[in-house]
Amino acid sequence: MDGQLLSDTFVELTDTMVAGFDVIDFLHVLTDRSVQLLDVSAAGLLLADPRGELRVVAASSEAARLLELFQLQSDQGPCLQCFRSGHPVHVADLGAEATRWPRFAPAARKAGFAAVQALPMRLREQVIGALNLFRAAPGGFDPADIRVGQALADVATISLLHERSMRHSDALNEQLQTALNSRVLIEQAKGKLAERLSLDMDQAFNLLRDFARNRNLRLSDLARSFVDGTETFTELTMSRSRPRLPGAGQARLQPGPGLAPKP
């Protein structure tokens, strides 16, 4: 495990006092760093809305996001159990859980995941969501990875609750609702960009996110502008000359009067 990256991640997850704090980007940092730090293939994040219903708000990959959505739609799976119980749920082999979760287990295997570790986002009796770690190969999770994963979830939970306390007592519900609304806009922007440039959904999201960071824009604001046509892009180049560093962008987008047509 990269000690420097781990240290930087904890700093990043506690720095909610910065101007223009972007909850969506914050939650994606949590899922991305979980994959970079731990022996997992993907990570997803579910948060409860003001009515207590779980929603998918971040994922490290499109496959993980779609599986999390399926889990909510089918109303079964380890992540739901984790949220409802407030306790971690460990599944070493999803192939052996077809009876327990007859719809979720086959769907997870079809998506390429064979093991799951679901970790609660909770403070005392308050559970606000679950961080879910997926692995492509069956087998138990390293206890050290589980401890670090739970620590990341705990720090993120405290940071979100602290950010709420700096506003009003009901700000967390407002914040989560805003995040859910922003998620819809981001999905629309991803789909629009993916269709226009013949990209997959992961690539489209990375382009939007990198452009927002490079121009100090909130991801949700950029997505809204792109969807309603206020913001358009005329030139897009993929940078493949150097490996992606944690938090670094893979693409550069230049603003302009129109989006370049498909090649």
> How buried is residue 183: exposed, middle or buried, by Cβ count under 10 Å (0-12/13-18/19+)?
buried
Looking at the predicted structure, is the pLDDT value of residue 85 above 80?
yes
The answer to whether residues 113 and 241 belong to one domain is no
pLDDT in tens, 225-251: 888 887 766 544 343 233 443 444 344
Identify whether the C-beta of residue 89 lies closer than 8 Å to the C-beta of residue 82: yes
| Ranges 31-45, 90-104, 197-211, 225-239: which has the least confidence | 225-239
The answer to whether residues 123 and 219 belong to one domain is no
pLDDT in tens, 1-50: 677 777 777 777 766 555 566 778 888 888 999 999 998 999 999 988 87
Q: Is 141 part of a structural domain of the chain?
A: yes
Q: Is 175 part of a structural domain of the chain?
A: no
Residue 99, CA distances (Å) to 81, 102, 110 in order:
15, 5, 16
Residue 175, CA distances (Å) to 39, 40, 57, 141, 213 in order:
31, 29, 12, 32, 20
Number of structural domains the chain divides into: 2
Identify whether the C-beta of residue 5 lies closer than 8 Å to the C-beta of residue 33: yes
Residue 53, CA distances (Å) to 13, 16, 28, 80, 150 in order:
24, 25, 20, 10, 22
What is this structure's pTM? 0.64
CATH of the domain at 106: 3.30.450.40
The answer to whether residues 157 and 224 belong to one domain is no
The answer to whether residues 82 and 7 belong to one domain is yes
Q: Is 97 part of a structural domain of the chain?
A: yes
Measured CA to CA, the distance from residue 235 to residue 258 in angstroms comes to 9
Q: How many CB atoms are located within 10 Å of the residue 214 CB?
A: 12
